[in-house]
Amino acid sequence: MTRSAALADTHGRIMRDLRVSITDRCNFRCLYCLPETEEAANFYRTKFDALRNPQPATPIAREWKPKSQILTFEEIERVVRVGVSLGIEKVRVTGGEPLLRSGVEKLVGKLAAIDGITDLAMTTNGFLFGPKAVALRAAGLRRVSFSLDSLDRDNFRKITGRDGLNELLAGIRQAQELGFKPVKVNAVVIRGLNDHEVESLAEFARTENLSLRFIEFMPLDSSRAWQRELVMPGREILARLQSRFELQPVVSDNASETARRWRFADGRGEIGVIAPVTEPFCGHCNRLRLTADGKIRTCLFSLHEHDLKPLLRGDADDSALASRLVEIVRGKEAGHRIGQPDFVQPERTMSCIGG
């Protein structure tokens, strides 16, 4: 089948990857995303110079979008189907916490039935994975990524605001037993918070035969506590791991891959480093995002969103929707501007955008 290349931007990139946030709600309160308490929003102040940040950060009171503004499963399916007709191949269901959306397995079933999707995956905090795992698998989900930033119960609770490490570890094991492949684990590394766990997380990936991705902390947190000093650069993470493990580079034929990857020389498990802050990969970005309330974002750091709801809830047909998507993609920004003097943090946080 010839793939459409209709979703082309003006920088020579063709969109193949659609991230679909299906809810802005979450049952966790990760301090780098949705901190719940004053202490969590100011976690960095014990470690870094509070003088440069004289105003303590305040956790933002959560206001979830009303249900009427959240896309229905039929609306999501329609956007994805039209996206696939224009060349989208990979779809990732995310959130907020996607497993909070009731009937999520039905949505997965609808998406899995769309001809042309070669890769259907989900990102989850894993807390509710156990009870849903079999249904998700049966519905056609093939890949799942879990967020695991700490193997220490107290640190896990500090980072996520919830005592959920055991449920998450059980979910990871269950995903492996059910044959999800590969089972991926994402760890956001923040200096002074969990950087001391980089080696133990890698060891966990090696012994459990997991694909682990270390991710740099990005300025997408609701309390706007992000500081460059808190970012542990991907190069530093790698150097630490190389001094502990024998790693062999994994060569990928996917030019849009965001992770640089290594396998352990003894053959089990794999690690990758995703460094959007210190080594941006915008030049190869082939991603689009659909928010739970029906907005298309052409970049994680976009300052503008494109609302599809008027089309979806009006009388536009699929070809009008397709034309709109093509037009939106043409305006995709060249790249993010983190570190530039004119960088502006987007209003919406990772939990709303869909990571």
Pairing of strands 260-264, 247-250: antiparallel
**Residues in contact with ligand SF4, shown as a per-residue x/- string from 88 to 107 under the rule CB under 6 A:** -------xxx----------
The answer to whether the beta carbons of residues 57 and 231 sit under 8 Å apart is no
* Contacted entry of ligand SAM, ligand SF4, none for residue 34, CB cut-off 5 to 8 Å set by kind: ligand SF4
Residue type, 339: G
* Comparison of 127 and 262: residue with beta carbon closer to ligand SF4: 127
* Comparison of 48 and 64: residue with beta carbon closer to ligand SF4: 64
Site for ligand SF4 in 138-157 (CB under 6 A): 147
* Comparison of 88 and 148: residue with beta carbon closer to ligand SF4: 148
Q: How far is the CB of 208 from ligand SAM (least distance, A)?
A: 18
Give the SS3 label for residue 83: helix
* Contacted entry of ligand SF4, ligand SAM, none for residue 124, CB cut-off 5 to 8 Å set by kind: ligand SAM
Give me the residue label for tokens 């955008």. 353
Phi then psi for residue 238, to 5 deg, are: -65, -45
Q: How far is the CB of 127 from ligand SF4 (least distance, A)?
A: 8
Instruction: Write the DSSP symbol of residue 248.
Output: E
Give the count of beta carbons closer than 10 Å to the beta carbon of residue 267. 10
* Comparison of 151 and 326: residue with beta carbon closer to ligand SF4: 151
44 part of the interface to ligand SF4, by CB under 6 A: no
Residues in contact with ligand SAM by CB under 6 A are 26, 32-33, 94-95, 97, 123-125, 147, 186, 188, 215, 217-218, 220-221, 350-351, 355
Q: Which of 18, 28, 294, 306 binds ligand SF4 (CB under 6 A)?
A: 28
Q: Which of 21, 23, 125, 258 binds ligand SF4 (CB under 6 A)?
A: 125
The answer to whether the beta carbons of residues 296 and 20 sit under 8 Å apart is no
Where residue 105 falls (left for φ over 0; alpha for ψ -120 to 50; beta otherwise) is alpha
Q: How far is the CB of 132 from ligand SF4 (least distance, A)?
A: 15
List Cα–Cα distances, 346 to 29, 104, 250, 288, in angstroms.
Answer: 19, 28, 34, 16
Q: How far is the CB of 327 from ligand SAM (least distance, A)?
A: 27
* Contacted entry of ligand SF4, ligand SAM, none for residue 215, CB cut-off 5 to 8 Å set by kind: ligand SAM
Q: In what order do the strands lie in the sheet with 90-94?
A: 247-250, 260-264, 270-274, 211-216, 183-189, 143-147, 119-124, 90-94, 17-21, 287-290, 295-297, 306-307
Distance (Å, whole) CA 246 – CA 223: 38
Q: Which of 7, 15, 34, 86 binds ligand SF4 (CB under 6 A)?
A: 34
Binding region for ligand SF4 (CB under 6 A): 26, 28-30, 33-34, 95-97, 125, 147, 350-351
